[in-house]
Every structure is written in structure tokens, then in C-alpha cells.
Chain A
Amino acid sequence: MDQDFAHHLSEVAVSVELETPDMTLNIGPQHPSTHGVLRLIAKIAGERAFDVKPVIGYMHRGYEKLSEVRTYPQITALINRIDWVSGYANEIPFIVAAEKLMEIEVPERAQYIRLILTEMARISSHLIFMASYPLELGAATPLFFALRERERVLDLLESVTGGRFHPNFNRIGGVKPAVGSGSTTRKQIQDLPAGFFTQTKDAMGKVLDVCEELETLVAGNEIFLARTKGIGLLPPEVAAAYGVSGPNIRASGVKFDIRKVESYLPYDQFDWEVPVGENGDCWDRWWVRLTEIRQSASIIQQAVDGIPSGPLQAKVPKVIKVPEGQTYVRAENPKGEMGYYLVSDGGSGPYRLKIRTASFSNISILPWILEGILIPDIIAVMGSLDFVLGDVDR
């Protein structure tokens, strides 16, 4: 070989070795896997991402400030829009907090209706996950199965509340009388729509069937297994320190569900299990949610069988004024712990309403969990955390 050429080659090799500047990769804010508008700024070295910085705030609507200038009944319409894939579930902890301060005993039938609809919201939220998560990993078919059954559940929610996503159905002291009884002069209060219970039982049977179908479709798929098993490991102690809650921390083996320890709805009346994962990887997070759909369907079936008769509302004053006091009420929402710290000064609106949402804490883990991860796995891990940007930014 020509000596000059050999020298030249060695120089090239050296310069290639030396000049490897980090590349900055911008993901989002409009990327299908971000479920809203989340932006990630990542440093890329080779095929791996480092120093991932989530940028949030694109969906910030200032609900905590707006709550200070609104009355209690008006606020439920706002908070429906926090986590819009399970709008119904957002209302519960706020309404329960206000009822606590007013010392209102909610009739049992209203509590059962709340519970049934909350679990429906959970099923619909988890079915969205069952549809979108395999899609993000390249499997389109589960979407059609999951969304078909979700539509059935949403139809039931709509038949009771009049809204698919933003039901605005809870009132302080109970639930809104069903469609067609809005007049203040009408004394007779209508109950649930005719045939609701039979349709619900039918729909829950179908939801259980689709869980089987999804399991055969997805759990046996070698590509899905390769993309999720052992990816995005989340140890329980890290998850707890970051405030990660809900199915995400249960997938890490923490057997903790707020429905079991707090009494905001009568969950203790039913026989159900808290599913937990083993390793805390993406696969476990998928599996925990699938199992939770089955548990929710079973809770709804039991609640439909055992629902007591009685009024839908407790006696409440016409103008709602919440006595002075403060309390924190939390609930197990589909995404995790959602709670409201309500401070009242005796007025018709809160003095301060702190909204604790699950997705905010759940994605604060991103810089930790995405450190040193392969670029395609970013999508797999983000999808498995199942967040909604409305729930992050409020």
C-alpha cells in the first residue's frame, strides 16, 4: 500500500474516533405516542438516548385558578376535562370532598350508580390503552377489537349521563336525575334508563370476551413480547419516591389500590382482586391493565346484582355553600391516584382547590426511566405508562 494513503487512512480513523458530538433529538410536541402534546428533548449517543427532558405545559388551562372564581356545581364541568378519557372518574373525589365538608350522607343507590359508572370509565380508559399501545408497537388489529367494546361501554355511559366523555353527572348529595327530568317544577325524579341493567350485564360479558381475544392476539405475539419484556424496568422504591401510582406501580409488584383502603365508594361490598406484576416492565404494565378490565367488569356485574333501591339524591340546600374547612380526598382513577385538596371558607366556591393528578407524577419519571434507553424503546416505555396530557397539565 502507498505509504501516504496508509497515513491518510489512519488520520481518517483517528478523526472519526474523536469527532462524535452528541446529537439532540426533539420528539413531539405532536407525536402520536404522546397522547396529547408532550415534547421530549433527548441527547442521542449512537442508538441510545440520554438526559431526556420532558417539556410540558402545552395543555395548561389553569383549572386551579379558575376553580377559585366558580361555584361548586360549575367546577364539575371543568374537572371532567382533566383526564378526558375517563372524565366521569375525575368528578368523584371532588364531589366526595365537598360532601365531606357539608357532612352529607349520600344515598346508597346513588353511590352504587357512581361506582358502576366509575368502573365503566376505567374500562373505557384501559380499552383505549389496549387499542393504542400495540398500535404504537406496530400491531394494528387489537385496536378494532378494543374500540368496538369501548363504544358499547360508552353508549351505556351516555344513556345514563347524556355525555360520552364529559358526563358532568354528579351533584353534591347524589347523582343527576336521568335524562328528561331537568325541570325544577317536576317533583318526580326519573331513575336509570329502562333496560340499563340487562344491557350492562350483556356488555360486561362482551368486555370479558374481548379480554380473552386481546390476550390471544397480543400475548402470543412474539414481536410484542420482544418489544415489552424486560423493557423499561421500574423498581417499586423508585416509583414510590416519584409518586408513580395506579397500574404503573402495581406492575412493579406493589399490591396497593386506593379502592381497597379508602371508603369514597362502597368497593368493600364486592369480591375483587388487585392484580400485581412481577418485574415492573412494559409487559407487566400491559398485563395489569388487562387484568384490571376483567376485575372492573366483575365489580360492575356484582354491583348490578346488588344495587339497592332508594333515592338518587340526599337533601341539599338549593344554593350550595360549603362550610369552612379543608380536606384531601383521593381516589383510584384509571391512571392512578387522583385527589383534591379542598379549602373552603364557607362560600359558594372554594378558596383553594389543589388538583393532584396521576399522569403528572407518572411522567415525572420519564428522565429516570428513559436514561440510556434505545430510541425505539422510548415509544414502548412512554406508551406503557398510559398518560394523558390533560391529566398532566390541568
Chain B
Amino acid sequence: MTTSPSDTDTAAHPLQEYADSVAEAVGGTAEIHFDTVKVVVDPSNWVSAFQTARDRLDLVFFSWLSAIDWSNEVAAGDPLSEEVEERFEVLATVGDLTEGNRVTFSTDISKEKAEIDSLVEVYVGANWHERETAEMFGIQFAGHPDLSKMYLPDEFIGNPLRKSFPLLSREVKPWPGTVDVEAMPEGPSVENPEA
């Protein structure tokens, strides 16, 4: 994972102090990615981190929850340039409604046991976001009241946002890309714009 180039500057990022204070309160590590405060916590700490965020840090607004499938084999889209550890990264952003602070919490879970505790008890709004993530990534949320399908038909098999899930329309017919783009008359060609 990269850090923002502004982190490498001599002056600390203006959000660094805030990020550190959040990380200390919830027991995680702070990262700043291009003005986004990200706090990485342990999966066992997931629910308690949000409890602290809501009760002690005034982060009462539940923005969203989702996941990233870090995968070396992709069925649709470009593969990663470097090999990564196979895992799901679960992300959730909460914010306050006064100063404009917002924190994205992150935790890694294994693909073999893709399960994490539900946040519904802390933020009731996590309900639909967790349902969506369960459907799209196949992640189980322990303690969630109803993980039934949200978008897809009930009989649908598979988790579309997993990198191993192919995009069927692309399998049937590859994206034409540059093939159907003709060069402008008397202009530089598409293949070699500098000519």
C-alpha cells in the first residue's frame, strides 16, 4: 500500500494529528491516503472500534461499508502489478456532523473464513450495506438480522464483485477498445499520438 506523497514531505499532513488520536483511541494504526484518514484495526476489534468512534469520538454518521477483494487472479479487469496477500479488506466510513471529520476503518479477513462481526448493533444503518457486501463478496456478518439477497435474484449463484467472478458480456465478446477507433484525418494516429 502506498502512502500519499505529501506524507513524505518534511511537514506532517494536517490530518496526521487527528488520525493518530483516532488510532490511539480505537487501538489501530493510522494511515493517510490523499486526505483520507484510514485506521486499520484487527478483526477482533472491529465492533469495539466503532463503538469507541461513535461514543467517544462523536463519529455518529454512518456513511458506508464495503470490501475490496485483493486477489492475484482476476477474471475481469486488469490484474495487480505486484503480487499481494490474498484477502478481503472490509472498509467502513463514519463521520461527524459538525467539523467534517471522517474516518475510514479497515480490517483484513481471510478468504477461507470470510466472516466478521456485524455493526448493526452500533450503527443500525450498516444493515443494508452489510447485506450488499454479503451478496457481492460472499462475506458473512455474524449477528446480522437478515442477510438475504438485495439486488440479485434469489436463485443467483456467485458473488459478482469477487475478482474471480467473470463479466459474462466480456467473455462472450471482448471489448473493442482501440480496434474501432480510426485516426482523425490528417491528424496524429491513435497508436502513436506523438507522431
Contacts and interface: CB of A to CB of B under 8 A. Distances in A.
A64 B163 CA distance: 12
A101 B3 CA distance: 11
A364 B127 contact: yes
Interface in A216-248: 236-237, 240-245
A254 interface: yes
A241 B62 CA distance: 6
B100 A349 contact: no
B184 interface: yes
Nearest to A393: B151
B63 A339 contact: yes
A360 B151 CA distance: 12
Q: Which of B63, B91, B127, B160 has the most CB of A within 10 A?
A: B63
A254 B136 CA distance: 33
Interface residues of B, number: 51
B64 A243 contact: yes
A245 B77 CA distance: 33
A356 B63 contact: yes
Given A325-B34, A354-B91, A184 B64 contact: no
A325 B78 contact: no
Interface stretch (A18-26, A84-92, A126-134, A326-334): A326-334
Contacts of A341: 64, 66, 91, 93, 104
Contact of A183 (B1, B128, B136, B184): B184
Contacts, number: 134
Contact of B77 (A68, A254, A325): A68
B161 A185 contact: no
B18 interface: no
A261 interface: yes
Interface string A183-206: 111000000000000000000000
A252 to B, nearest CB: 10
A57 interface: yes
A296 interface: no
Given A249-B97, A324-B2, A325-B4, A241 B60 contact: yes
A37 to B, nearest CB: 12
A60 interface: yes
Interface stretch (B21-29, B41-49, B186-194): B186-194
Contact of B184 (A185, A236, A244): A185
Contacts of B34: 100-101, 325-327
Most buried by A among B68, B77, B80, B152: B77
Contacts of B97: 236, 240, 249, 254, 256
A346 B62 contact: no
Contacts of A237: 60
A71 to B, nearest CB: 9
Q: Which of the listed residues B2, B93, B99, B125 has the most CB atoms from chain A within 10 Å of its own CB?
A: B125
A337 B100 contact: no
A368 B2 CA distance: 41
A184 B36 contact: no
A177 to B, nearest CB: 15
Interface string A49-77: 00000001100101011101100000000
A100 B6 CA distance: 11
Given A241-B124, A249-B97, A349-B77, A330 B63 contact: yes
Given A69-B76, A256-B97, 8 more contacts: A69-B167, A244-B125, A256-B100, A326-B1, A330-B102, A352-B68, A361-B63, A364-B127
29 contacts: A57-B149, A57-B151, A64-B136, A64-B161, A65-B160, A240-B61, A240-B62, A240-B97, A241-B60, A241-B123, A241-B124, A242-B125, A244-B125, A256-B100, A260-B100, A262-B100, A318-B193, A324-B81, A339-B64, A346-B81, A347-B81, A349-B77, A351-B77, A354-B64, A354-B91, A356-B64, A364-B127, A368-B124, A393-B151
